[in-house]
Amino acid sequence: MAGVSVQAFRRQGRRFGAGLVCSEMVSCAGIEHRNERTLGYLRVASDEHPLAIQIFGSEPATMAEAARMVEAAGADVVDVNFGCPVRKVTKTGAGATLLEDPERAARIVAAIAGAVEIPISVKMRRGLENGSRACLEVGPRLVEAGARTLTLHPRSARQMYTGEADHSLTAELVERVDVPVVASGDVTSRARARAVLATTGAAAVMVGRAAQGNPWALREILDGDDPEPTREEVVAELVLFVRETVRELGERRASGFLKKFYGWYLGRGRFPRPFKQELVQLETTAEVERRLLAAAPRAADLLERLESELPAGDEILLDMPISIYGGG
């Protein structure tokens, strides 16, 4: 969920019933070098808890230091990424590559376990190659090293997001470890979530792409409540998302970052396709907001109510420890 799970996305997920939300993956090297943008990922809002912050890297000592800073930032869980399939991550020896190096993977988890008091979770894929069963070898070793829960997305790194998630592998992992296993991959509806839970014995399901621009999917999965949101609801949620993202990232970064979200929110037959194209071409988020509210004027009242329910003032962002910024 890199480039997606910003604070606005996580806070929205909590409002719609997610039991735990997770940050996008954070580079431990960026934390080590006090990169300003990377440190921004460690900001925690008071209404995000429980929250996991996910880190990635390949060196045990560096990952342990990053985990300490994640704990200091206020996260409830430190999540370790052994699943990212993207080349720029795997070529550094991080992400899914570590599934092919069980010894190093276990050393990383052990180093983190010795550095923090909060629980450690690990997100895995099945392995690098199609048909790999590496996760079944690595998973128990990670638990021995200190992982308190495992999440499995049973696609290979080579598959990326094509094909189907093979949850028979999730069921095998559940049998091999004595910690909760979270099932990830293709969980798009209540029926699918219930089927995955029933056939795997997993303790929970993780929802990712299904919630992009569609937080109502979380409500349907939890409660079976599946009314299609009205245009007013879609616009109110999108405008709130825009405002929260600008607050977090600033106008310059947010204006480009948000463009992919317009299609996610306005698709599914909710608005005509040309409307999304019109929004993408607007230069500022203020213009986007005005155009959205013009298309659904009654959304303004709903938006006002949503904003009134957010934590106020200093409660929105918890202060970061000064040590995280190296003093100053």
286 secondary structure, DSSP code? H
Give CB contacts under 8 A, 24+ apart, made by 191-195. 193/221
Query: Is 84 part of the annotated catalytic residue set?
Result: yes
- With tokens 């985990």, the residue in question is 67
Q: Which residues of 131-146 are buried (b: 16+ CB within 10 A; e: fewer)?
A: ebebbbebbbbbbebb
Coil vs helix vs strand at 280: helix
Interhelix angle 231-249/259-266, rounded to 10 degrees, is 160
Of the candidates 115, 126, 21, the one whose C-alpha atom is nearest the C-alpha of residue 76 is: 21
CB 11 within 8 Å of CB 48: yes
Instruction: State the CB neighbour count (10 A cutoff) for residue 266.
Output: 23
- With tokens 């399939």, the residue in question is 85
Write down the catalytic residue from 22, 28, 84, 135.
84
Helices (H) and strands (E) counted in the chain, each on its own, are: 16, 8
CB 60 within 8 Å of CB 111: yes
DSSP H helices, the chain, are 7-15, 28-32, 36-40, 60-73, 87-90, 102-113, 134-145, 167-176, 190-200, 216-223, 231-249, 251-257, 259-266, 273-281, 285-295, 299-308
Active site residues: 84
